[in-house]
Structure 1
Amino acid sequence: MKSFEEARELVLDKIVPLGTERVQLLDAVGRVLAEDVTAPWPMPLCDNSAMDGFAVRSADCAPGVTLKVTDYIPAGATSEAAVTAGCAARIMTGAPIPPGADAVVPFEETSEGEGTVTLQKEVKKGAHLRFTGEDVGVGDTVLAAGTVLGPAQISMLASCAAALVPVYRIPRVAILSTGDELVELGTTPARGEILNSNTFAVAAAVRLAGGEPVILGIARDDHESHLSLLSEGLKADLLVTSAGVSAGDRDLVRDTLAELGVEEQFWKVAIRPGQPLAFGMKGTVPVFSLPGNPVSTMITFEEFVRPALLKMMGHTSVKRRTVRGILQEEVRKKAGRTAFIRARVSVEEGRFLARISGDQNTGILRTMVGSNALLILPEEGSLFPAGSEVSLHLLDPSLHLEP
C-alpha cells in the first residue's frame, strides 16, 4: 500500500487546472484569477482632495489668516480657475485639486465667514492631497494570476473597469453512491436499509470547496446499474463514488471502472480510516472511489478529493492548514497506518490543545459532527501520551493563535 503522503502527492501530480472562462464581475467572487490584470490608468487618475474642506496655497497659510473663497468644486466636477494668492476654493472629497493649490484644509480646522474662511491651524504643503498614481501606476500589475478574488480584489477589478473577469472554470463533480441497502431521502428506512447520506455529505463538501455537485443517485449491486451510472459520471470533470470499493462479492466499482477505461493509479492506502480508497484517471477526468462508511467517506474526501478540486480550480494552496498541538489525553493506534483521529481543538495560552471528540468507529457520525480538526498520527507510532506534540489539520479556519 502507498503511504498517505505518497498517495496524496500522486493525486496532485495527476491533477491539472481546468480551462478558463470570462464571467461577470460579481460572478468572479471566490474564484481564482486566470490572467494577470494590469492598470489601464493611474489611480488616482488625478491629484484630488482627501477631505471636505478648502484647497489653498500653503505659502499663504498660517493660524488666524483669512482667505477669500473664490470657487466651489464638488465631487465629480473640475475647475480650471487657479487658486491665487490670498484665496481658497471650497472643495469636496475626491474632487480634482485646482491649479495653484498645494494643500487642503478640512472644514473642522476653519471658521467660515461671508465669502471668506479663517484658518485655525498651520497648513503643510501636500496636506490631505491624494496624488496621481500614488496607489497604482498605469500598466502596473494590480492582480496576479492565481489570486483568489474577494471584496478587495473585486474592488480593484472594478476600478480597472474589468466587467468580465478571466477565471478558472468550476468543476462539475459527479457523485455516485452504491449499494442495494441504500434508500433515498423521504423514505423511512426498514430493517437493513440505510439512508443515502453519503451523497449529500460529498455534495456539501464539493459545494463548500467551490465545485458544482452533480448527483447521479444510487448504483444498485448489479453490473448494468454500475455501468450505466459510472458511464454518466465520467462525463463530468471529476467523479466521486462511495462504497463498493473493497473486496466483497458486491463491490463492483473498480472492475466496472476498469471496463470503462479508467486507469487505476492506486488501490488501498496505509491510512485509518479509509484504507480501501482507490484513485484513477480516465483521460483528464480524475476518479475517486471512497469507502462507504460515512466518516471514512468524509475524511478521505477531505484529505484527497478536496485538494484535487482546489487545484482544478486554479488554487495554489490546496491543503488544509497544518499546525502543531498538544494532546490532552493518551491516544493509542495500531502501527503501520497513518491515523486520522476526529478531534476537538481549543486555543489556550498561545497553544492548540487537542482532545479526541468521542468514539472513533467509522459508523459514528456524531463524533464527526463534534470535531473541528483531524489529529494526524504517523504510521510508525502506536502510543501517544498526554502532553505529546502532534500534527493537526484544522477543519475550522477560524481557529488561530492569539498574537
Structure 2
Amino acid sequence: MISVEEARKNILSALSPLTSETVSISEACGRYLSENITPRRTQPPADLSAMDGYAVRAADVQTVPVTLNVVGEAPAGGSYDSPLGAGQAVRIFTGGPLPEGADAIVIQEDTTREGDRVTVLEGVASGRYVRKKGLDFTEGQTGLAAGRKLTPRDIGLLAAMNVPWVSVYRKPRIALLATGDELVRPGEPVGPNQIISSNTLLVAAMIEQAGGIAIDLGIAKDNEQSLRQMAAGARSADMLVTLGGASVGDHDLVQSILGKEGLQIDFWRIAMRPGKPLMFGDLNGIPMLGMPGNPVSSMMCSYLFLLPAMLAMLGQPPRLPKTTPAILGNPLNENDRREDYLRARITGQKTGIPVIETVPNQDSSLLSALSGADCLLKRPPFAPALSEGAAVEVILLDTDFPPC
C-alpha cells in the first residue's frame, strides 16, 4: 500500500490543464480564467463628481462665504466643455465630468443659489468629492489574472472593463461507471439481493458542484462484455471513474477486464480508511480512477483525490481541504497503520472553538452518518490515543473546496 500523499502526488503528476474555450461573461461565473484579462477602457474615463453640487476651483473657495457665477451644467452623460475661470462654478451631478480647470466639488447642501449666482458656505480642498480618472482601473493593466475562479463580483468588473467575452478552462468531463449485479437505480424495482446505487449520484453532485460535468455511463453488470461495452462510453471524457469492482474479490472485475482493453495501473491500494482499495491508471490515454463500492469510501476518495484532480485540469495549483482547530468531545483509541478520516459532528463551542464528537459507528456503508456529519477528523497512521478535551484539527464539510 502507498500513502495518501503519495497517491495524490501520482494522480496530480499524471494530469495537465485542459484546453480553453471562449464564453460570454453572462455564462462565466464559476469558471476559471485561462488568460489574464486587461480592461478595454479606463474607469472613470475622466475626473468625475462623486456628489451633486458645484464644480469649482478650490482656490476660489478657501475664504467663505464667497459668491461664484454659475456658467453651466455637467449632468451624468453630459459635460460642460469650456474651461472654468476664476470666480466661476458649474452645476454638476453625481457622475458628471469635471470641466477643465475645476479640481473640487462643493456639495449642494453647503450652498445657496439665486439665479446664476451661488454662494458657497463651506470651503473645500482640491480633490474633494472628485473621482479621479483611472481611480478604479486603467486600460491595458491586468484586471483579472489567469487561474482566477470568477465570482459574481468579477462579472460586474468584467462588464465595467468592457470585456464581453473571456477565455476559460473547459469544464472537466468525468465519466462515472458503477459496477455490480446487485445495483439498481433509485426508483427501480429492487430484487431480494439488490441495493440502490447511490454512489453515482453522490459523486456526480460533487463533480457538478466543483465545476465539472458528470457523465453517467450507467451500471455495468459483473461480466466482461457489459463492463467493456459500457466503459467504452468514456472515450470522449477527460477522466473515467469506476465505482465498485476495485478490490481483489472474484467478482471485482474492473482491473482484470479493463487491463485487456489497455488499462495501465499506477497503484491500486492506499493506506487509508475508508477508501483502501483505490485504483489509478491510464486507459488508452484517459486517466482512470477506480473507487471502492461503499458510498462513504467513494465520497472520501472523491474529496481527497477526484476534486484535487479536477483542480489540476482547471489549471489550478495543488490544493487540499483546509483544517480548523477543534476540541475532541470523546476519547479515541490509538490508530493503526492507515490514515483515518472519522466522520464527526459539532456539538458545541468552548472559547470560540468547536467541540466535536466522532460518529459512534464509522462503517463505510452508512450514508445517514455521512449526511449528518459536519466535519472529518483526520488521524495520521499510528496516531496515539486521545482523551476527551484533546486539541485536534478537522476538515469542515460543505465548505468552499473547491470554491463553487
TM-score category of the 2 structures, normalised to the smaller one:
over 0.9
- In structure 2, distance between residues paired with 1:398 and 1:364: 24
| Percent identity of equivalent pairs | 40
Cross-structure match for 1:13: 13
| Structure 2 residue identity aligned to 1:377 | R
- In structure 1, distance between residues paired with 2:68 and 2:397: 62
- In structure 2, distance between residues paired with 1:160 and 1:347: 45
Cross-structure match for 2:179: 178
Cross-structure match for 1:98: 99
- Greater shift after overlay, 2-11 or 58-67? 58-67
1:50-81 Cα offsets, whole Å, 9 max, x none, are 12221111111143223232211111112212
Cross-structure match for 2:81: 80
| Structure 2 residue identity aligned to 1:29 | C
Cross-structure match for 2:158: 157
- In structure 1, distance between residues paired with 2:262 and 2:117: 85
Q: Give the C-alpha shift of residue 38 in structure 1.
A: 2.2
Cross-structure match for 2:238: 237
Cross-structure match for 1:70: 71
Cross-structure match for 1:139: 140
Q: Give the C-alpha shift of residue 152 in structure 1.
A: 2.7
Q: Which of 365, 370, 373 matches 1:371?
A: 373
Asked whether the equivalents of residues 327 and 355 of structure 2 are also in contact (C-alpha less than 8 Å), the reply is yes
| Structure 1 residue identity aligned to 2:50 | A
1:27-47 Cα offsets, whole Å, 9 max, x none, are 111111111122334332211
1:78-98 Cα offsets, whole Å, 9 max, x none, are 221222222211112222110
- Greater shift after overlay, 67-76 or 195-204? 67-76
- In structure 2, distance between residues paired with 1:390 and 1:101: 62
1:396 aligns with 2:398: yes
1:204-215 equivalent positions in 2, closer than 5 A: 204-215=205-216
- In structure 1, distance between residues paired with 2:123 and 2:307: 59
Asked whether the equivalents of residues 173 and 212 of structure 1 are also in contact (C-alpha less than 8 Å), the reply is yes
Counterpart secondary structure, 1:213: strand
Counterpart secondary structure, 1:331: coil
Q: Give the C-alpha shift of residue 382 in structure 1.
A: 4.9
1:107 aligns with 2:108: yes
Asked whether the equivalents of residues 40 and 163 of structure 2 are also in contact (C-alpha less than 8 Å), the reply is no
- In structure 2, distance between residues paired with 1:252 and 1:95: 72
Counterpart secondary structure, 1:10: helix
Counterpart secondary structure, 2:143: strand
- In structure 2, distance between residues paired with 1:175 and 1:113: 76
Q: Give the C-alpha shift of residue 237 in structure 1.
A: 0.8
| Structure 2 residue identity aligned to 1:11 | I
Cross-structure match for 1:336: 337
| TM-score normalised by length of structure 2 | 0.93
Q: Give the C-alpha shift of residue 233 in structure 1.
A: 1.9
Gaps of at least 5 residues in structure 2 are none
Asked whether the equivalents of residues 106 and 123 of structure 2 are also in contact (C-alpha less than 8 Å), the reply is no
Cross-structure match for 1:38: 38
- In structure 2, distance between residues paired with 1:367 and 1:57: 70
1:18-29 equivalent positions in 2, closer than 5 A: 18-29=18-29
For residues 101 and 334 of structure 1, do their structure 2 counterparts lie closer, same or farther at Cα, with a shift above 3 Å needed?
closer
For residues 292 and 88 of structure 1, do their structure 2 counterparts lie closer, same or farther at Cα, with a shift above 3 Å needed?
same
Cross-structure match for 2:55: 55
- In structure 2, distance between residues paired with 1:49 and 1:109: 15
- In structure 2, distance between residues paired with 1:52 and 1:317: 50
Asked whether the equivalents of residues 231 and 260 of structure 1 are also in contact (C-alpha less than 8 Å), the reply is no
1:254 aligns with 2:258: no
1:130-170 Cα offsets, whole Å, 9 max, x none, are 11223333321121111111123222322222211011110
- In structure 1, distance between residues paired with 2:150 and 2:353: 31
- In structure 2, distance between residues paired with 1:382 and 1:235: 47
Q: How many pairs were matched up?
A: 399
Cross-structure match for 1:128: 129
| TM-score normalised by length of structure 1 | 0.93
| Structure 1 residue identity aligned to 2:267 | F
- In structure 1, distance between residues paired with 2:112 and 2:181: 84
Cross-structure match for 1:315: 316
- Greater shift after overlay, 151-160 or 360-369? 151-160
